[in-house]
Amino acid sequence: MFEIELKFRHQCPYSDIAKKFPAARLLLWDNFQREFLDVRSNDRKDWPRMNRELDSLAKKKGSKILRRSSDGKSYQFMIMTCACERRASTVEMVMSSDCLFVPPIRYQGEWEAYHIIAFDKGAPKRLLARFRREGDAEIASQKQIDAGSLGRASFVPLVDPLSGMTPMQLNALATSMELGYYRLPRRTSTGKIAESLSVPRTTFQEHRKKAESKLMAALAPYVLTYVGGRRA
């Protein structure tokens, strides 16, 4: 088996937004029952126009706006759409090439990127040919993987939400995990953890709450698309 990153360039509403806002990064989850888009930008000058663009896109797609937020340094816009069309979609192109698509699709600048598992040597070539009939495509990376490693692998992209945390937020979350705060029954208390770190209880609690909020926002696409698929 092979793990592939495929880059694709063509005309689509999400690519058009990514082109207009080079500082933005779009992540799209799609299970053919629900579609979840997470847009983030670190360029404050983009935010007003991005709001208008995404409001327009949401209206056209009949989407529900779930969240708009800013921490002063970055801006996040999240929308959930209704059931989407599977036929002729890029995900369908992956599946018809005997490959497995691992969400999300990443959009930045002119390109969109797909994380794909191919099950035989010929699959990447078939996949590339299929995508090139619809636009520009290239294999950005390809590595052979062992079938047994799939069960141990985590394809949830946690690097991004963790890197968005401050050192204090990350330390508060990690220390709480290490000392058993999230276990049932709970092994410690917020006050005891704060005391062990020699920081005020309220300060520690605030750092952990912000870390938890960022982590839950990162997991939201998986939860919402999973539940949406089961309810359909």
For 178-197, the pLDDT digits (tens) are 899 998 889 999 999 999 99
**Same domain? 129 vs 211:** no
Return d(Cα 32, Cα 228) in angstroms, integer. Answer: 10
**Same domain? 144 vs 68:** yes
pLDDT > 90 fraction of the chain, expressed in percent and rounded: 33
- Domain-terminating residue out of 118, 149, 180: 149
**Same domain? 94 vs 192:** no
**Same domain? 28 vs 89:** yes
pTM of the model: 0.68
- Domain-terminating residue out of 149, 177, 202: 149
**Same domain? 90 vs 182:** no
CATH number at residue 192: 1.10.10
Domain-embedded: residue 116:
yes
**Same domain? 29 vs 80:** yes
**Same domain? 103 vs 163:** no
Region of poorest pLDDT, from 10-19, 98-107, 146-155: 146-155
pLDDT > 70 fraction of the chain, expressed in percent and rounded: 84
**Same domain? 141 vs 37:** yes
**Same domain? 17 vs 121:** yes
**Same domain? 128 vs 217:** no
pLDDT at 8: 96
Domain-embedded: residue 154:
no
**Same domain? 168 vs 64:** no
Number of compact structural domains in the chain: 2
Q: Domain of 23? A: 2-149
Region of poorest pLDDT, from 19-23, 140-144, 204-208, 226-230: 226-230
The alpha helices in 8-46, defined as continuous H runs, are 13-20
For residue 44, what is the DSSP state?
G
pLDDT at 225 over 80: no
pLDDT at 154 over 50: no
How confident is the prediction for the chain on average, in pLDDT? 83
pLDDT at 195: 94
Return d(Cα 57, Cα 13) in angstroms, integer. Answer: 8
Q: Are 202 and 211 in contact (CB under 8 A)?
A: no
Three state DSSP letters for the chain = CEEEEEEEECCCHHHHHHHHCCCEEEEEEECCCCEEEEEEECCHHHHHHHHHHHHHHHHHHCCEEEEEEECCCCEEEEEEECCCCCCCCHHHHHHCCCEEEEEEEEEECCEEEEEEEECCCCHHHHHHHHHHCCCEEEEEEEEECCHHHCCCCCCCCCHHHHHCCCHHHHHHHHHHHHCCCCCCCCCCCHHHHHHHHCCCHHHHHHHHHHHHHHHHHHHHHHHHHHHHHHHC
Q: Average of pLDDT values for 219-230?
A: 62
User: What pLDDT band is residue 229 in, cutting at 50, 70 and 90?
Assistant: very low
- Domain-terminating residue out of 124, 149, 174: 149
**Same domain? 88 vs 18:** yes
The structure tokens listed for 134 are 């619809």
Domain-embedded: residue 71:
yes
Strand order in the sheet with 2-9: 64-70, 75-81, 35-41, 24-30, 99-108, 111-118, 2-9, 136-144
pLDDT at 159 over 50: no
Return d(Cα 102, Cα 34) in angstroms, integer. Answer: 16
